[in-house]
Chain A
Amino acid sequence: MARAAAGDRAAWHALYVAHADFVHRTASRFAGNEADARDITQDVFLSLFLHAGGWKPTASLTSWLWRLAANRCLNEGAKAGRRLAAGAAALETVPEPPERAPDRQLERHEEQERVRTAIMALPERQRLAVILSRYEELSYEGIAQALSTSVSAVETLLFRARRSLAQKLAG
C-alpha cells in the first residue's frame, strides 16, 4: 500500500487483482445491473488510487475499501432511485412462485429472480446491509464501519430488511 500511495502502478495493479472481486460482486448485487456495477467498481478503485496518499497504516485497507464501495453504491443508488422513481412500484411486487416447476433449472432461475427483485426493492441502506451480511459475511462491526454507522443501527437495518423480505418472499 505504501508503494501504491507513492503512485506505483504495479502496486495499484496488485491491489486491484486482490480486491476487485468483492467490490464488484457487492456493486453488482447492489445495483442490479452490470453497467452501473462496472462504473461503481472502477470509481472505487480510481478513488482509492487518487487518495492513496491519505491512507494511514493504522486503518485496514479492506475496511477502507468497503467504506469507499458502500459510499459509492449509496451515491449511485440515490441517482438510480431518482431515475427509477417512476418504476419503483413495479419493484414492490415480487413475482409469485410458480405452482409447479416443470424444470428444476427454471425453478432455480425464477427463485433467483424473486430474490433479486425482493433485494432490489429494499431501501438502499437495508439492501447494502443485507448484501454485506448475507453474501460477504461481514460482522455487524464490519458493516457498521462500511456504512459509517453504529452497530445498533446495523442491527435495526438488518431486522427491518428481514421483516420486509419475509413479507415479500415467504408468501
Chain B
Amino acid sequence: MRCAEAERFVSRRLDGRLAAGDAHALDGHLAGCAACRRLAGRMTRTWELLGAAPPSAPAPPTWANVVSRLDGRGRWHAWLETLGWRRPAFGVAAAALLAVAASGIGGGMLLSDRLLPRPAPAQFEAAVLAEAFGELPAGSPAELLLATIVADHAGRQRR
C-alpha cells in the first residue's frame, strides 16, 4: 500500500467506512511507516478535538424576524404592483435586456460615426505613411502606394 492510499484509508476509518480487508492492509502499512502513523494519530486526535469542543451555536432568529422579512417583501411587491408592475417571464425579461443592449451598442456606433470628425481616408493614410517614412522618395513603392490611395479616394468622391 502506498502512503497516499493509507492516508485516505485513515480518513475513511474515522467515518466508519473502511472495509475489514482494507483495515487490515492499513494496519500493516502503519506498522511499517512512521510518517503515516504520525499523520493517522494527528487526524484522529484532531477529529476528537473537534467533537469535544464544538463551536458554539446560538439560537436561531425568532419567527417574528422571519415574518417581518416576509411581510417586507410582500409590501415591496404590492407597491410595485400598484404601479402596474408585473413579474416578467424570464424570456420576456431576457429579450428586453437584449433589446436595450443592442440599441445602446447600435446607437453608440451610429452617433460616434456622425458626431466624431474622421479624417478623410487619403489624408489619414498620407499622414501615416509620411510619419513612417518621412519624405517619400520619388518612384518608391511607398510613394506609388500613396498615389494609388489618393487616386482611389478621389474617384470614390467623384462617384
Contacts and interface: CB of A to CB of B under 8 A. Distances in A.
Interface of A: 9, 13, 16-17, 20-21, 23-25, 28-29, 32, 34, 37-38, 41-42, 45-46, 49, 108, 111-112, 115-116, 119, 130, 133-135, 140, 155, 158-159, 162-163, 165-167, 169-170
B50 A130 contact: yes
B84 interface: no
B11 A158 contact: yes
B6 to A, nearest CB: 11
Contacts of A29: 54-55, 57
Interface of B: 7-8, 11-12, 14-15, 17, 39, 41-43, 45-47, 49-61, 63, 65-67, 69-70, 73
A118 to B, nearest CB: 8
B66 A42 contact: yes
B66 to A, nearest CB: 6
A16 B58 contact: no
15 contacts: A17-B63, A20-B60, A21-B59, A23-B60, A37-B58, A38-B60, A38-B65, A42-B65, A111-B49, A111-B52, A162-B11, A162-B47, A163-B7, A169-B49, A170-B41
Contact of A49 (B12, B43, B55, B70): B70
Given A38-B65, A42-B65, A45-B66, A163 B60 contact: no
A42 B50 contact: no
The SS class assigned to the B binding surface is: helix
A39 to B, nearest CB: 9
The SS class assigned to the A binding surface is: helix
A32 B57 CA distance: 9
B15 to A, nearest CB: 7
B61 A42 contact: yes
Nearest to B60: A24
A115 B11 contact: no
A53 to B, nearest CB: 14
B7 A41 contact: no
A162 B65 CA distance: 37
A170 B66 contact: no
A159 B7 contact: yes
Given A24-B60, A46-B73, A49-B70, A162 B51 contact: no
B80 to A, nearest CB: 16
A25 B57 contact: yes
Nearest to A165: B46
A112 B56 contact: yes
